[in-house]
Amino acid sequence: MSEFIQHLINGISAGTIYALVALGYTMVYGVLKLINFAHGDVMMVGVYMGYATAFGLGRQAQSSPWGVLLIFVVAMGGCALMGFLIERFAYRPLREKPRLTALITAIGISFTLSYGFQLDIGFLPGSAPRAFPQIIQPSQWFTLGDPEFPDVVVWNWQVISLVLAVVLMAGLQYLVYGTRFGRAMRAVSFDHRVAALMGIPTDRVISVTFMIGSALAAGAGLLYAIKDTSVSPLMGLYVGLKAFVAAVIGGIGNVPGAMVGGLLLGLVEEFVVGYAASTWRDAVAFGFLILVLLVRPGGLFGRVAAEKV
Amino acid sequence: MRTASAVSGSGSPSGVPASLRGILPVLVAVPALLVLDWLLSNSPFANYLLSIMAVNIILAVSLNIVNGMTGQFSIGHAGFMAVGAYLAGVTSLALKDVALSFLPVAVSDQVFLVVALLVGGISAALAGFLVGLPSLRLRGDYLAIVTLGFGEIIRVAVTNTEAFGRALGLSGIPQTSSVAMVGFWVFLVVLVARRIAGSSHGRSLWAIREDEVAAEAMGVNTTGYKVRAFVISSFFAGVAGGLFAHFVPIINPGSFTFVKSMEIVVMVVLGGLGSTTGAIVAAVFLTLLPEALRSAFSAFGSESNLAQQVDQIRMPVYGLLLVVLMLSRPQGLFGTKELWEVIPRWIPRRRKGM
C-alpha cells in the first residue's frame, strides 16, 4: 500500500512538471494553431540562464529567498525576451503560409538551440550535463512509517511545484476567460484576420502570448532542474516532447486539459515504470498518446472541429 | 495546374519501341552499376561514401513519397529504417553459414542479401501499415507527432529486445553490401517514385496533398491512398536500413534516433517537398557536405580541432538551414519541380511530347 502511495506521489510530482511545460504549449497552440516545437528548448535555455545566475550569485546568496526569486526572474524574463524574438523573426513572417512551414521552422529552431548549446565553442556550455545548484534545500515535508527509513516521503519541492502549478493554471484560466486580454486572445485564436478587422492588435496579442508561454517554460524548467539536479542541452528535447504529449492528451489549446494531461501522463509513466518495466519509460508516453488519440482524436478535453472546405 | 505539368514530365526517349520502353531503364542501369562496382572495387573509402550516400538517397526519396507527394508530414522515418536494419541483420546472421552450392560464393551472398533486405523491407512495410492506420483519423500536426512517437517506440522496443542485442546492438553481420547492390536499390526507389508520380495513384496523392477534403469530395479514397503511400515509403526505408546494416560493422539503437529522422526530413525539405530529383540532390549534398568540410578544415592544417567539430556543427547548421529555408524559400530548392524542369531557359532541351 505504501509503495502504491509513494508511486502516486512521485507520479503527481512528475506530472506537475509536464503540466507546467504543457501550459506553455497549449497557450501558443490555442492562439496560433502552431506546435511550438522549440518550446522545450526555450525551457532548456531558461534553465541555463538560471544556472548562470545562480553561479554568479555564489553559494550563499543563491539559496536565500531573494536569490531564488532573482534566479526565477532572470530566467523567466530572459526567456520571455527570447520567445518574443523567436516569434518576431521566425514565426511572424510565416503567418499567412501553410501551417507545415511554421512547424518545420519550429523544428529548425529546436535543433539550432539544443545542438547549438552542445558546442563547446566560446561561451557555450558543451554537451556534458552539469549539476544544478540546490537553490531549494530538499527536506522531507511529510513522512509515513518509520522516521529513519520512511515508507512514504513527500519532499518540499514536490509541494512547491504542485502549488505553483495549480496557482499558475488558475491564473491562466482567469487570464484567458476573465480579462480583456484573454478575450482578445480567444478572438485571435478563432480567426485572427477578423480579429484584426475588429481593432484587436493581433501581433501584440500573439507576441505577449508567446512571452507568457516562454516565461512559463523557464519557470517549469527551473523546477525540473531542482528536482533532477542536472542540466544538459538535450533536456529540452525530451521534456518538451513529453510535455507536448501531455498537452495533446488533454486536448491541445485547453488550459485545464494541459494540467490533467500532464498529471495523467506522469501517473501512467510512474506506474508502468514502478510495476512493469523501467526501461520502457519513453515508449509508454507515446503509446499512451497514440491510444488516447485513437479513441479521441481531439484529446480528452478537445473538440474535433469539422473541417471546412 | 503547376503540379500536374510537373508530374507529367516523363523523359521517355521517343525512338524506342513501346515494348522496350518499360524495361529500358533496367537494361541501362544494371550494366552501368556493375561497371561502377568493378571500377571502385579497391577503394574502400569511396565504397563507404557511395553506400552511405545511396542509403540517404533511398531514405529521402522514400520519405518524399509520404511527406512530399501526399503531404502527410511524417517525422519518424528512422523508425522504419531501424525495423529494416534489425530484421535484415537478424536474417543475415541466421543465414550466415548457409550458401547456395550451385552458385559462386559471391553470387550466393548477394542472393541472401536480397532475401534479408526483402525481409527487412516487408517488416518495415508492415510497421508502415500500422502507422498509416491512425492517419485515417489524424491529420497535420497530430499525425506528425504520432509518427514521431512511433519512431521512438520502435527505438525503445529495439533497445529492450534480447534478440536485437539491446543497447549494444547487432555485430558480426556479414558485410555483403556492394556499390552495385545499393545502386540497384537507389535505381529501384527512384523508378518507383517517378512511376507513382506520373500514375493515377500519384494524381490522387497530389490531390490529397493539395486539399484533402476536396480530394475526398472528388471521390479519392484518401485513407486508402495515404496508407499505401506509407507502406511503400516504409518498405524502402526498411531496405535502406537493411543495406546500412550490411556495410557498417555494427548497428545499435543510437543510429536510429529522432535526429536521424530529422536529417531525412531536412533532405526532403531542402530538395523541395514533392521533387524526387530534389530529394536526391539534397541527399547527396548533405551527405558530402560534412566530409567536404572536414577535409577542407584539415587541409588548412592547424585547425584540426575544427575538423573534429564538423559533426557537432552539423546539427545546428541543419536547424538554421530549415529556418532560413522556410523563411526565404518555403517550397524548397526545387519546389515540386524536377531537376530538368529548373535548368535555365537558355539551355536548349527537347520539347515535351504531350
| A138 Cβ under 8 Å from any chain B Cβ | no
Q: Cα angle at B196 between B191 and B200, to 5 degrees?
A: 145
Residue B173 located in a structural domain? yes
Residue A135 near residue A63, CB atoms below 8 Å: yes
By residue range, what is the domain housing residue B51? 23-254
Cell digits for A75? Answer: 530566467
DSSP character at residue A136: S
Backbone φ and ψ for B72, nearest 5 degrees, come out as -95, 110
User: What is the distance of C-alpha A232 from the center of its chain?
Assistant: 16
Residue B11 is predicted with a pLDDT of 46
Q: What are the chain B neighbours of A243 within 8 Å (beta carbons)?
A: none
Residue B9 is predicted with a pLDDT of 43
| B161 Cβ under 8 Å from any chain A Cβ | no
Residue B50 located in a structural domain? yes
| Cα–Cα distance, B50 to B179 (Å, whole number) | 7
Contact assignment for B156 to A279 by CB distance below 8 Å: yes
Helices (H), B161-221: 179-198, 200-210, 212-217
Contact assignment for A108 to B156 by CB distance below 8 Å: no
Range from A75-79, A103-107, A260-264, B85-89 carrying the lowest mean pLDDT: A103-107
What is the number of other CB atoms lying within 10 angstroms of the CB of residue B117?
26
Q: Which residue of B has its CA nearest to A293?
A: B138
- Exposure string of A152-176, with b = 16+ CB inside 10 Å and e = fewer, is bebbebbeebbeebeebbeebeebb
Residue A136 CB contacts under 8 Å (≥ 6 apart), including other chains: A63, A68, A156, A157, A160, A226
| A112 Cβ under 8 Å from any chain B Cβ | yes
| B262 Cβ under 8 Å from any chain A Cβ | yes
Q: Which residue of B has its CA nearest to A281?
A: B156
Which of B67, B145, B220, B311 to mutate against chain A (most A CBs within 10 Å)?
B145
Residue B266 located in a structural domain? no
Cell digits for A55? Answer: 553561479
Mean pLDDT of A293-306: 75
| Cα–Cα distance, A70 to A54 (Å, whole number) | 9
| Cα–Cα distance, A218 to A20 (Å, whole number) | 10
Q: Which residue of A has its CA nearest to B258?
A: A237
Distances (CA, A) of B204 to B133, B196, B207: 18, 10, 5
Residue B320 located in a structural domain? no
Residue B307 located in a structural domain? no
Q: What are the chain B neighbours of A297 within 8 Å (beta carbons)?
A: 137-138, 142
| B150 Cβ under 8 Å from any chain A Cβ | yes
Smallest CA-to-CA distance from B72 within B164, B11, B138 is with B138
Mean pLDDT of A242-268: 88
Which of B156, B159, B218, B303 to mutate against chain A (most A CBs within 10 Å)?
B156
- Exposure string of B120-143, with b = 16+ CB inside 10 Å and e = fewer, is bbbbbbebbeebbebbebbbbbbb
Mean pLDDT of A143-163: 78
Which helix H or strand E contains A152, and what residues bound it?
strand A152-155
Q: What are the chain B neighbours of A102 within 8 Å (beta carbons)?
A: 326
> Closest Cα of chain A to B83: distance in Å?
16
Contact assignment for B142 to A104 by CB distance below 8 Å: no
Contact assignment for A290 to B159 by CB distance below 8 Å: no
Residue A182 CB contacts under 8 Å (≥ 6 apart), including other chains: A174, A175, A176
3-class state of residue B107 by DSSP? helix
Site of grid cell 531542402: B270
| Cα–Cα distance, B175 to B171 (Å, whole number) | 10
Backbone φ and ψ for A37, nearest 5 degrees, come out as -55, -25
Q: Cα angle at A183 between A180 and A184, to 5 degrees?
A: 90
| A283 Cβ under 8 Å from any chain B Cβ | yes
Residue B92 located in a structural domain? yes
What is the number of other CB atoms lying within 10 angstroms of the CB of residue A274?
15
Residue A269 CB contacts under 8 Å (≥ 6 apart), including other chains: A11, A14, A281, A284, A285
> Closest Cα of chain B to A259: distance in Å?
19
ipTM of this predicted structure: 0.81
Residue B169 near residue B253, CB atoms below 8 Å: yes
DSSP character at residue A244: H
Site of grid cell 552539469: A130
Q: Which residue of A has its CA nearest to B71?
A: A100
Which helix H or strand E contains A144, and what residues bound it?
strand A140-144
Residue A98 near residue B141, CB atoms below 8 Å: no
Residue B354 is predicted with a pLDDT of 40
Contact assignment for A121 to B217 by CB distance below 8 Å: no
| B292 Cβ under 8 Å from any chain A Cβ | no
Residue B146 near residue B134, CB atoms below 8 Å: yes
Site of grid cell 503527481: A12
Residue A189 near residue A30, CB atoms below 8 Å: yes
Name the amino acid, one letter, at A67: G
Domains in chain B: how many in total? Answer: 1
Contact assignment for B153 to A111 by CB distance below 8 Å: no
| B33 Cβ under 8 Å from any chain A Cβ | no
Name the amino acid, one letter, at A97: K
Per-residue pLDDT 10s for chain B (354 aa) are 344 444 444 444 556 666 666 677 777 777 777 777 777 777 778 888 889 999 999 999 999 999 888 888 888 899 999 999 999 999 998 887 777 777 777 788 888 899 999 999 999 999 999 888 876 677 677 788 888 888 888 888 888 887 887 778 888 888 888 888 888 899 999 989 988 988 888 899 999 888 888 888 888 888 889 899 999 999 999 999 999 999 887 888 888 888 889 889 989 988 888 888 999 999 999 888 888 877 777 776 555 566 667 777 888 888 888 888 888 888 878 877 777 777 776 666 665 544
Range from A82-96, A141-155, A190-204 carrying the lowest mean pLDDT: A141-155
Q: What are the chain A neighbours of B211 within 8 Å (beta carbons)?
A: 309
Mean pLDDT of A90-107: 85
CA dihedral in degrees (A184, A21, A258, A272; nearest 10)? 170
Residue B4 is predicted with a pLDDT of 43
| CA pseudo-torsion sign B218, B224, B227, B233 | negative
Residue A67 is predicted with a pLDDT of 86
Residues 182-211 of B with CB under 8 A from A: 211
Q: What are the chain A neighbours of B148 within 8 Å (beta carbons)?
A: 241, 286
pLDDT tens by residue, A16-62: 888 888 988 888 888 888 888 899 999 999 999 999 898 888 877 77
Contact assignment for B213 to A307 by CB distance below 8 Å: yes
| Cα–Cα distance, B239 to B118 (Å, whole number) | 7
Residue B217 located in a structural domain? yes
Q: Which residue has the higher pLDDT, A276 or B59?
A: B59
Residue B214 located in a structural domain? yes
Residue A66 is predicted with a pLDDT of 87
| A143 Cβ under 8 Å from any chain B Cβ | no
Site of grid cell 499558475: A168
Picking from B138, B141, B153, the nearest residue to A283 by CB comes out as B153
Contact assignment for B316 to A111 by CB distance below 8 Å: yes
Contact assignment for B323 to A283 by CB distance below 8 Å: no
